[in-house]
Structure 1
């Protein structure tokens, strides 16, 4: 799985939901209802996703944030399938994608209504101020975390229930999570992660290592 996962950095790859298979190793429901996500280069290889990712709206957004050479470093279509959609434990996106200085921003586009019932996002407001808690490191043995996961009180989190078409911006260090989707309604979302490739060093310990440099949205000299 590691090799398939690592190669997905520059491919369109498919990943099953953890709960999609029964004890016999067979899918418990149709394949189209068993896929957890597609990633991680939709923004480069699929013309529909590329048109959105490189749109003027996205470029203008990052220009307003002061990014000099922003690039989409990964894209994911998350299905959050009915009844089996994976839980996302509390985490920070910068745990998995790190630059120095930090520059990661996530864009979370609701393609369907996201509610508490079908697994909407939950965030701890202001948690990005405290910085990065832990990192996932890639080395010759695969990937591992540099420390144990922190524990959080659920009372700290607030739900982000949003309508279809809502764009949520997530600081790379914001702590967020989502519960498993036990409802009969899916919760599709498109996620883009962007970093500044000007003045920010890409970590050689990130799981995502490209053979070619990502195409920037724009470049301010």
Structure 2
């Protein structure tokens, strides 16, 4: 719990310290037709940046609340640039041993990390999705590590999962950089040996305590509802993928490593 308390404290320090005056007011949007994709987002893979809630701005583009309560998430290189998040993600021996025990990857790399704040009253709904659509490799290999920093309940937007969907729902599209700029989705062929996609069923709500660890298979369908409660729902999450030659991560993906900051090997 000391680590969770420290992560929550550090998250709030980052929110308090960031400068809204030179911020482009980029909102985090998730729709198929209006997913965030400006330069501030596309160049965030080696930086710590702040993405606003959709409801945090009025029609004139002015904040409707203090900046600390207007942010949807902080990303995407917390695990590389902040010493505390680095230690939890890449120097954590329990995480390393879990990765070895899972045998999900042979040589995984960490490619993004986020603090998702799920602000009170306006914390945005996240529709049904799977992570391999957004962190695509061939073959798919994304795995999410999701750590609640506050209690997650039905009222403040706890995650819900569709059981078994990682076994029956193929990755049918991928989130890419468009040649014309911005982002969009590219359709993928569905393997002929795949089962019929399972996109219906009863979702299971997973309430969590601070410090729990939720592992999210890259193909499992999950979502969260809007937070209309008076309590925030801070969570720290990072993702791993398989590295070459075991899987291919190409230049179409929205998030790209740089020479100065390649994706860090988890088991190094």
The corresponding residue for 1:29 is 65
* 2:263 alignment partner, one of 201, 214, 220: 214
Q: How does 1:115-130 map to 2 (within 5 A)?
A: 115-130=153-168
Measured at CA, do residues 157 and 133 of structure 1 come closer, stay the same or move farther in structure 2, by a change above 3 Å?
A: farther
Runs of 4+ in structure 1 displaced over 6 angstroms?
Answer: none
Alignment partner of 1:188 is 2:234: yes
d(CA) in 2 for partners of 1:102, 1:140: 23
The corresponding residue for 2:221 is 175
The corresponding residue for 1:200 is 247
* 1:143 alignment partner, one of 183, 194, 200: 183
d(CA) in 2 for partners of 1:151, 1:83: 32
d(CA) in 1 for partners of 2:248, 2:198: 30
* 1:108 alignment partner, one of 143, 146, 154: 146
Measured at CA, do residues 151 and 100 of structure 1 come closer, stay the same or move farther in structure 2, by a change above 3 Å?
A: closer
Alignment partner of 1:11 is 2:47: yes
Instruction: Tell me the CA shift for residue 118 of structure 1.
Output: 0.3
d(CA) in 2 for partners of 1:65, 1:80: 29
Report if the CA contact (8 A) 2:111-2:263 is conserved. Answer: yes
The structure in which a higher percent of residues are strand is 1
Instruction: Tell me the CA shift for residue 68 of structure 1.
Output: 2.4
Higher relative contact order (CA 8 A, sep 6+): 1
Normalising by the residue count of structure 2, what TM-score does the alignment of the two structures yield? 0.77
- Runs of 5+ consecutive residues of structure 1 not aligned to the other structure: none
Deviations 1:135-179 (A, max 9, x none): 2122322211135xx9954x5211011111111000000000001
Give the alignment's Cα RMSD to 1 decimal. Answer: 1.7
d(CA) in 1 for partners of 2:55, 2:198: 24
d(CA) in 1 for partners of 2:52, 2:144: 23
Alignment partner of 1:60 is 2:107: no
d(CA) in 1 for partners of 2:60, 2:109: 43
Measured at CA, do residues 164 and 211 of structure 1 come closer, stay the same or move farther in structure 2, by a change above 3 Å?
A: same
